[in-house]
Amino acid sequence: MIIDLMQKRKIKVSEICEYCLTVDDRLSVFKKDDFYVSILELAIGVLRTSITKNLKNDKKVLFGINALTLLLGVVNETSRNLLLTKEAKDYFPDFSKSSRVGEIAQGLNYLYFQSQLGYIELNDFKDFAAELCPGISLDKSTPDFVMSTYTNEAIILESKGSWAYKQGKNNLKAAIKNGMRQTHKGFNWIDKNSASTNPIVNTFTSCAWLRDEGITDLYYMDPGYPSQGLLSYRFTLRHFSTWFYLIGLSELAQVLQKGSFLEEDDVRGVKFEEKIIGNTKYLVFSTKNTKNNYLAKCILKNIIGKEDLQFGITEYIWNYLNENKRRNINRKVAYQIKGYSDDNTIIFPDGTLVVVN
């Protein structure tokens, strides 16, 4: 069956009361607006988080393709809600374990925090900590990610995921409590070891409760922290390196991953066309430049019945990443972007773009 790539699927979202985690007999949640995501958006979310977690691994392409293949193999193609197939438990004997379902949950949690809570950029916690506190060993158990706003305020995000067919409220409480312990531990480690002001302003745990019937739930908890310092520009460069890896422009990605802005020699062979959407100018890269994108490597054409995907980025962000142009860029202006999608276009809040032809 051909998957409807752009159909929005619903997820129910709730915020958990922190106080209730200490109460054994109840779990109070505050309902939030439902979240809608298409399979293509979720696929890109899964790829961005997979690449981020494996950014220093030479086999990051294989990890990304594996995560995407898993997603496309278990998603329910017909439901208006985001659901997995009932057969997933039979196809993947270990699917209910965090190592498998967690890959999908990471992509979903990332997309929600980016589009609904305003945390636009994403880095792996270990990479972030290694740069902030070089030479100091991390604990074995660390949070998953650090995310940031357009004002460079950072949060720690621990992503949890579970196959919900056997789970009850006590399992959910245990997952959230475990996540909060990890984020607090990460915050305190940075507070203790950083030579500069701790840039973390808050910590979150988010749990995607994936289901094969009814509706998938996303729960998160925001305990609140006092405001701290700001991030290095290298945080932004690492975030966008994962986008360029995803779309097949690996040479640009490698430059950004190393913490350097793009030079003229780096971008000389990159071709693009300009496209105006709303009041924003996008640069849509040539399909020749992006022919080795991760989605093509997964033979997505055979799965979704589409000929081509084109990828782009706002002119503002492109200029910010280029050494000879970035001094004229206002970061707040660059991120005045609202996520958007229609039948053939997806715009993410970080200014990246996908066009389905």
DSSP letter for each residue of 31-93:
E---EEEEHHHHHHHHHHHHHHHTTT-TTHHHHHHHHHHHHHHHB-SS-SB--B-TTHHHH-T
Q: Rounded CA gap, 55 and 254, in Å?
A: 10
pLDDT at 337: 82
pLDDT at 141: 83
Q: Who's near 312: CB < 8 A, 6+ residues apart?
A: 272, 275, 282, 283, 284, 285, 352, 353, 354, 355
Using an 8 Å Cβ cutoff, are 30 and 17 in contact? Answer: yes
pLDDT at 229: 63
Q: Quick one: angle between helices 60-74 and 98-116, nearest 10?
A: 90
Q: How many CB atoms lie within 10 A of CB 30?
A: 9
Phi/psi for 314 (5° steps) reads -65, 150
Reported residue count of the chain is 357
Q: How many CB atoms lie within 10 A of CB 128?
A: 25
pLDDT at 20: 60
Contacts by 60-63, CB closer than 8 A, 24 or more apart: 60/245, 61/245, 61/294, 61/297
pLDDT at 342: 87
Token pair of 159, please? 């992503």
How do the pLDDT tens digits run along the chain, 357 residues long?
Answer: 556 778 899 999 999 876 666 555 566 788 999 999 998 899 899 989 999 998 888 888 777 777 777 777 788 878 899 888 877 766 666 545 556 788 889 999 999 999 999 999 999 999 999 988 888 888 778 999 999 988 888 999 999 988 765 556 667 888 888 898 899 899 999 888 887 778 888 899 999 988 888 888 899 887 665 556 667 888 999 999 999 999 999 999 999 999 999 999 999 999 999 999 988 999 999 988 888 887 766 645 555 555 578 999 999 999 999 988 776 667 777 788 888 888 889 999 999 999 887
pLDDT at 85: 82
DSSP state of 262: B
Token pair of 139, please? 């604990």
pLDDT at 323: 87
Q: Rounded CA gap, 44 and 76, in Å?
A: 17
pLDDT at 92: 62
Using a cut of 0.85, tell me whether the model's pTM lies above it. Answer: yes
Token pair of 88, please? 């997933």
